[in-house]
Amino acid sequence: MNLLDRDGVRVTVRDAVAAVTLTGGDKRNAQTPALWRALAETGRLLPGDVRIVVLRGEGPSFSAGLDRRAFEPGGIEGEPGLPELARLPEAELLATIAGYQEAFTWWRRGDLVSIAAVQGHAIGAGFQLALACDLRVCADDAQFAMRETSLGLVPDLGGTHPLVALVGYPRALEICATGRAVHAAEAERLGLANLVVPRADLDATVDDLAAALLAAPRDAVIETKALLRAAATQDYDAQRAAERAAQSRRLRDLAGLAE
């Protein structure tokens, strides 16, 4: 089923898997506000029976980040450039950035598991989009970089939280403040990449991972995901209590006694 195809985003659904593809491969999938709106709409349109979302970028790179035209006066046609954004009243500027962030916030929903298939460059907004997903499978030519700070800006599309969770504060600071490239082998070592495979094997590896995730009962995956997310902020005793409550629900459900 074709769900959406506009502004550099194509979404198809087959059974319980949604494929979200960035289609601007000739421009290394440079991101625009229109693309972000299409991604935000994707999250709202997904059918309720979708369990897995796979995010890919066409062409040699996953996404080279924000379209460079946004840095120029006049920006992208029909969109404010960064100089125009800077002149907005504070409340309007904050609301505009919040709208952009919506494209990056739904990928970790409790009822989904999202996988980013990353090849080539994942720079700036591209890095943050990969970080928005639950899991990242990378080709051996993948390289991540957070260039915002080098440009006098900050990562503002939801990427700082998952980056620190994955690699820790000192490494996250070093990566962001220097803007350096993190290549695939290092990304796997740091925990940014779940798997690194030859470029030719990327799609098949992602498909195999999606199939493995679908093999487990949906409600058990949802409960497990919620537990793991909570573990980062709860103390040991609170987490054990959450495990007991979740297991109680699972046992009753399996026994046909769920309310």
Q: Looking at the 3D structure of the chain, how many domains does it have?
A: 2
pLDDT band per the 50, 70, 90 thresholds, residue 81 = confident
259 within some domain: no
Q: Whole-model pTM above 0.75?
A: yes
**Same domain flag for 129 and 228:** no
Statement to judge: residues 207 and 227 lie in one domain = no
Average the pLDDT over 102-121 and give the result. Answer: 98
In the prediction, which pLDDT does 73 show? 77
Residue 231 included in any domain: yes
Each residue of 160-172: pLDDT tens digit? 999 999 999 999 9
Report how far residue 212's alpha carbon sits from residue 52's, in angstroms, rounded to the nearest whole number: 11
pLDDT at position 258 over 80: no
159 & 249 share domain: no
- Residue 20 inside a domain? The answer is yes
Q: Which CATH number characterizes residue 94's domain?
A: 3.90.226.10
Same domain, 140 and 93: yes
Do both 163 and 233 map to the same domain? no
pLDDT tens across 24-34, in order?
A: 999 999 999 99
- Give dist(CA 62, CA 204) in Å, integer: 16
Q: Which domain holds residue 110?
A: 2-215
Are 211 and 236 in a shared domain?
no
Tens digits of per-residue pLDDT, 129-159? 999 999 999 999 999 999 999 999 999 999 9
Task: Give a yes or no: residue 54 inside a domain.
Answer: yes
Residue 74 in this model has a pLDDT that exceeds 90: no
72 — pLDDT class (breaks 50, 70, 90)? confident
Give the residues across from 145 on adjacent strands. Answer: 123
Is there a single domain that holds both residue 123 and residue 248? no
16 within some domain: yes
